[in-house]
Structure 1
Amino acid sequence: MPFALATITGCSMTDKRSDEISSAGTSTSSDASDVMEKLSSGIYDLIGVKGKASDSHPGVMDCPGKDAKTYFRIFHPWSFYPASAGDLDLAMKRLKVELPRHGWKIVEYGPDTSKNKNINLTADNSGKKAGVSIVQMSKNDPPKLSLTVVSGCYKVPDGEKVERF
């Protein structure tokens, strides 16, 4: 999991003047979590094939190089299982076309180095200050798309602390 999270901070998620992850603004962990769930829901809608999403919830992680008591990122890992295994390719192809139409910039697309040669799609949305990593796992039983949506760095409001969940 840590490797997948590190790979979805493509070029739009970073400040062009430094290697720091973009600021996503000020928010409580709970409110930022709600934003990531809505973003994941929007990606689910773009898949456009019948299937089922896993029931998972966002979590909180640190922002590299920032005070963990006041800065955080939200990550939301989930999976999509198509109703028909044959629809898995279609789901990934739709995401490759639809994500850019909805503000996402694809920064990586192609097979990984695993023996299964899983197709990986990484995209950033600078407007939403988020990135998504999608892995097409055709050889899994059942076949699935594995998705992780990650926010930029949030700062908690003055006087509050980062909630961990």
Structure 2
Amino acid sequence: MNKKSIPWVVSLSFLIVSGCSSMDEKNSGDLAPRNSGTMQTQTEKKSSELLDIMDLQGKVTEPGAIVAPCSDYPSEDGVIRAPHPWSLYDVPVERMREGMDRLREKLPKSGWRITKDGTDSSRSKSPQIIADSTDGKYSADIRFWEEPESSDEESMIVVTVVSSCFRSR
């Protein structure tokens, strides 16, 4: 699997697990319509905030936010969300650990509530932080994939920021 496809795989698994669980009522009529392009841009800005908090210089994958169906609603309701999967690599492992520590320290001071700080369910038990924005509009899944020194693969931090569900105008 190449670096560009990894964030998409993580993003899809995050979307499947997270669904639209932050919504108590599953009535699409209760959702305010929003412009999907604006939501994509705002989701990308939230991603940039996370990158700024990590304060790491490296390479970042290019794809921007997309729109995807919100799985807790019937597809005919047109309820979507804007996921933005990306990864940061070509950074020394120790610096990536420091970046994860900065997230733990600064996310709560930056409008995020950490809901999980532990390991993911993979065989490698990668460090994982899951956080929700305090305004309830975004969730983030951040994982540190540390490769063994003997590996040909690069270590990376894999991030998916996703908007809450909305109806597109």
TM-score, with structure 1 as normaliser:
0.80
Counterparts of 1:80 and 1:19, CA distance in 2: 36
Q: Deviations over 1:99-130 (max 9, x none)?
A: 11111111011122323220111000131600
Q: Which has the higher contact order (CA 8 A, sep 6+)?
A: 1
Residue 59, structure 1, aligned to residue 58, structure 2: no
Cα pair distance change 1:73/1:99, threshold 3 Å: same
1:95 corresponds to which of 89, 103, 128: 103
Counterparts of 2:27 and 2:99, CA distance in 1: 29
Shift, 1:87, TM fit? 0.8
- 1:117-156 equivalences under 5 Å are 117-127=125-135, 129-139=137-147, 141-156=153-168
Counterparts of 1:117 and 1:62, CA distance in 2: 29
Q: State the aligned residue count.
A: 153
Cα pair distance change 1:21/1:5, threshold 3 Å: farther
Could you tell me which amino acid in structure 2 is paired with residue 35 of structure 1? Q
Counterparts of 1:92 and 1:21, CA distance in 2: 37
- 1:1-165 equivalences under 5 Å are 1=9, 2-8=12-18, 14-15=22-23, 18=24, 20=26, 25-63=32-70, 64-68=72-76, 70-127=78-135, 129-139=137-147, 141-157=153-169
Counterparts of 2:36 and 2:122, CA distance in 1: 35
Cα pair distance change 1:67/1:113, threshold 3 Å: closer
Contact conserved, 2:127 with 2:145, CA < 8 A, in 1? yes
Q: Which moved more, 1:81-90 or 1:100-109?
A: 81-90
**Percent sequence identity over aligned pairs:** 25
Q: Deviations over 1:62-114 (max 9, x none)?
A: 12214545321000000012532221111111111111111111101112232
Any stretches of 5+ residues in structure 1 without a counterpart?
Answer: 158-165
* Structure richer in helix, relative to its length: 2
Specify the SS of the correspondent of 2:93: coil
Q: Which moved more, 1:107-116 or 1:53-62?
A: 107-116
Specify the SS of the correspondent of 2:82: strand
Any stretches of 5+ residues in structure 2 without a counterpart?
Answer: 1-8
RMSD: 2.6
Cα pair distance change 1:68/1:105, threshold 3 Å: farther
Contact conserved, 1:138 with 1:144, CA < 8 A, in 2? yes
Contact conserved, 1:4 with 1:133, CA < 8 A, in 2? yes
